[in-house]
C-alpha cells in the first residue's frame, strides 16, 4: 500500500513529521520564511486559482490529483518515495552494504554540499521565471508555468527537509541561505551560472524546461543512486515531477516549431517574423544557447569531486544498477576529446572514474537529441528542408576543457576573431531577443492562443484546451 500523504498536518508529508517534534519545529520555523520568499520572488502574476496537480500519495497513482488551487495556498510538503528495506549500495567502496539511513560523519560535509547545490537550483528557476506569467501565450501555458513553479518550490522543500532532518544546526543555516541567494542578484547570486541567466521570454522558458530541467533530471538521477537512502528516495519522487517540466519543454518547443512551420507554408517564406512567428534560425540560436549553458551544469569533464563522490557512494551514475561493470571504475579507462591550441582535437585516455561528469553528459546529450529529432520531424512532415542540430559539446562553453577555446557549432577550433565574427549566426543576438520579446503579449482568454505558438494537441488531465485552467 502506498503511504498516504498527511494533508491534515501543517506541513503535508509522508515522513511522520508529527512524531518528530524537533524536525517539525525546525520546518515550521522555515515555512514562513519560504512563504515570504515566494511572495517576494515567486510568480508576479496574481491568480484566483490554478488547475494544479497535487500529490496525495507517493505510490503509482497517488501523485496526480488535480484541482484549482491558489498558488500561495498550495500545500508544499515533504514526500519521499517508498522505502525499500533491503536496499543495498550499488557502487563505490561500500558496494553491497545496506544503504545508509543516517548521514555517516565522514561524508557529512560532502553530502551537505551536494544537497545545498541541488537545493540552490530549485528556487532559482522560480526566480528566473517570475515575470513570465505576465506574458503567457494561453491559460494552458500559464497553468503549466505555475505547475512547474510550485513543484520547483516543493523540490526546494525536499532538499530543505534533508538539510533540517539530517544536518543539524548547520543544515538549518544552509536551508535559510537557500532563500537568501537569489537568481541574478549582483550581491548574492545562485551558486551555478546557468541559474543566474534570465528567462526573459516563453521560448526561453520552453528551452529552459527542455534543456536545463533535463540536466536536473540527470543530476537527480545520480543522486537517486546515493547510498544515503533518504536522499535517494527524495530524488526518486522528485524525478516523477521533473518529468512534467520536461514535457512542458518538449511540447513547448514542439508547438513553436509547429506554428512556425504553418506560417512558413502559409506565406511561403522562411522569413515569418513579419507574420508574427519565430523564424527557425532564431529557434536554432536559442537552442544553441540553452543547450550549451546546460552542458556547463555538468561541470568539468574530468572531476575529482565526482570521482570522490562516486567512491564514497554519495552520487552514482545514471541507471547505475543497469550498468554491467565492476561499479568501482578504478581499473577502467575511457577517452577524453580535448581541443588543442593548434586547432586539432586529441583523445586522451583516462581513468573512467575521473570522467564521470562526461559519462553523465553523454547520457544527457543522447536524450537531448531525441527532442531535436521530434522537432525535425515536424519540419519534414511540413516539407520544409531546414533541420535543427545540437551544436558540438565544445561550442560556447564556460566550464571545462573547452572553455578556453573558440569552437564552432560543428566542432571546428577557430581563433577568437573568427568566432566573434560568426557569433551572431550562432547565438541569440540582442535583435533576436528584442524580436521574441515583442511577440510576448499575454493571451488570457479561454481557448485563445498567441500568434507564435500552436495550441497543444491535448489539454491537461483530459480537459480540453479551452478549459479555464486559471482563474484570473
Binding site for another protein (CB under 8 A): 93, 109-110, 112-113, 173, 177, 180-181, 186-189, 191, 304, 306-308, 310-312, 329-330, 351, 353-354
Q: Which is nearer to another protein, 31 or 311 (CB)?
A: 311
Please report how close the Cβ of residue 181 comes to another protein at its closest, in angstroms: 5
3-state secondary structure the chain: CCCECECCCCCCECCCHHHCHHHHHHHHHHHHHHHHHHHHHCCCCCCCEEEEEECCECCCCCCCEEEEECHHHCCCCECCCCCCCCCECCCHHHCCCECECCCCHHHHHHHHHHHHHHHHHHHHHHHHCCCHHHHCCCHHHHHHHHHHHHHHHHHHHHHHHHHHHHCHHHHHHHHHHHHHCCCCCCCCCCCCHHHHCCCCCHHHHHHHHHHHHHHHHHHHHHHHCCCEHHHHHHHHHHHHHHHHHHHHHHHHHHHHHHHHHHHHHHHCCCCCHHHCCCCHHHHHHHHHHHHHHHHHCCCCCCCHHHHHHHHHCCCCCCCHHHCCCCCCCCCCEEEEEEECCCCCEEEEEEEHHHHHHHHHHHHHHHHHHHHHHHHHHHHHHCCCCCCCCCCCCCCCCCCCCCCCCEECCCCCEECHHHHHHHHHHHCCCHHHHHHHHHHCCCCCCCCCCCCCCCCCCCCCCCCCCCCCCEEC
Q: Which is nearer to another protein, 285 or 397 (CB)?
A: 397
Please report how close the Cβ of residue 8 comes to another protein at its closest, in angstroms: 35
Q: Which is nearer to another protein, 193 or 464 (CB)?
A: 193
Q: Which is nearer to another protein, 18 or 304 (CB)?
A: 304
Please report how close the Cβ of residue 232 comes to another protein at its closest, in angstroms: 20
Q: Which is nearer to another protein, 241 or 301 (CB)?
A: 301
Q: Which is nearer to another protein, 156 or 460 (CB)?
A: 156
Please report how close the Cβ of residue 145 comes to another protein at its closest, in angstroms: 27
Please report how close the Cβ of residue 229 comes to another protein at its closest, in angstroms: 20
Please report how close the Cβ of residue 61 comes to another protein at its closest, in angstroms: 40
Q: Which is nearer to another protein, 131 or 191 (CB)?
A: 191
Please report how close the Cβ of residue 338 comes to another protein at its closest, in angstroms: 12
Amino acid at each position: 500500500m502506498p503511504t498516504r500523504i498527511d494533508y491534515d498536518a501543517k506541513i503535508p508529508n509522508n515522513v511522520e513529521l508529527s512524531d518528530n517534534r524537533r524536525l517539525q519545529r525546525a520546518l515550521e520555523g522555515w515555512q514562513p520564511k519560504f512563504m515570504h520568499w515566494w511572495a517576494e520572488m515567486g510568480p508576479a502574476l496574481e491568480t484566483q486559482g490554478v488547475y494544479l496537480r497535487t500529490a496525495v500519495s507517493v505510490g503509482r497513482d497517488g501523485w496526480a490529483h488535480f484541482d484549482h488551487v491558489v498558488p500561495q495556498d498550495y500545500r508544499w510538503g515533504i514526500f519521499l518515495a517508498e522505502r525499500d528495506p533491503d536496499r543495498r549500495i550499488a557502487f563505490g567502496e561500500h558496494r553491497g552494504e545496506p544503504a545508509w539511513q543516517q548521514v555517516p560523519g565522514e561524508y557529512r560535509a560532502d553530502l551537505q554540499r551536494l544537497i545545498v547545490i541541488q537545493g540552490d537550483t530549485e528556487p532559482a528557476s522560480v526566480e528566473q521565471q517570475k515575470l513570465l506569467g505576465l506574458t503567457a501565450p494561453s491559460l494552458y501555458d500559464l497553468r503549466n508555468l505555475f505547475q512547474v513553479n510550485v513543484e520547483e518550490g516543493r523540490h526546494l522543500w525536499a532538499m530543505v527537509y534533508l538539510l533540517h532532518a539530517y544536518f543539524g544546526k548547520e543544515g538549518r543555516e544552509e536551508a535559510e541561505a537557500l532563500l537568501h541567494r537569489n537568481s541574478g542578484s549582483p550581491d548574492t547570486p545562485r551558486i551555478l551560472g546557468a541559474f543566474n541567466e534570465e528567462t526573459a521570454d516563453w521560448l526561453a522558458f520552453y528551452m529552459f524546461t527542455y534543456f536545463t530541467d533535463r540536466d536536473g533530471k540527470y543530476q537527480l538521477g545520480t543522486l537517486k543512486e546515493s547510498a544515503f537512502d533518504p536522499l535517494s528516495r527524495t530524488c526518486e519522487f522528485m524525478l516523477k515531477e521533473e518529468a512534467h517540466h520536461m514535457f512542458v519543454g518538449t511540447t513547448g518547443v514542439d508547438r513553436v516549431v509547429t506554428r512556425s512551420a504553418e506560417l512558413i507554408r502559409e506565406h511561403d517564406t522562411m522569413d515569418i517574423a513579419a507574420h508574427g512567428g519565430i523564424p527557425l534560425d532564431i529557434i536554432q540560436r536559442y537552442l544553441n544557447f540553452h543547450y550549451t549553458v546546460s552542458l556547463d551544469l555538468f561541470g568539468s569533464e574530468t572531476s575529482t569531486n565526482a570521482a570522490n563522490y562516486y567512491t564514497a557512494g554519495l552520487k552514482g551514475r545514471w541507471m547505475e544498477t543497469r550498468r554491467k561493470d565492476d561499479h568501482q571504475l578504478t581499473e577502467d579507462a575511457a577517452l577524453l576529446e580535448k581541443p588543442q591550441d593548434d586547432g586539432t582535437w586529441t583523445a586522451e585516455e583516462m581513468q573512467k572514474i575521473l570522467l564521470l561528469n562526461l559519462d553523465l553528459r553523454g547520457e544527457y546529450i543522447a536524450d537531448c537529441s531525441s527532442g531535436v529529432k521530434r522537432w525535425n520531424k515536424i519540419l519534414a512532415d511540413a516539407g520544409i528542408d531546414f533541420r535543427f542540430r545540437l551544436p558540438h559539446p565544445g561550442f560556447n562553453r564556460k566550464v571545462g576543457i573547452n572553455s578556453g577555446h573558440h569552437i564552432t557549432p560543428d566542432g571546428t577550433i577557430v581563433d577568437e576573431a573568427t568566432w566573434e565574427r560568426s557569433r551572431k549566426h550562432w547565438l541569440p543576438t540582442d535583435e533576436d531577443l528584442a524580436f521574441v520579446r515583442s511577440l510576448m503579449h499575454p493571451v488570457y482568454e479561454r481557448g485563445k492562443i498567441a500568434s507564435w505558438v500552436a495550441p497543444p494537441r491535448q489539454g491537461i488531465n483530459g480537459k480540453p484546451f479551452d478549459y479555464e485552467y486559471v482563474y484570473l
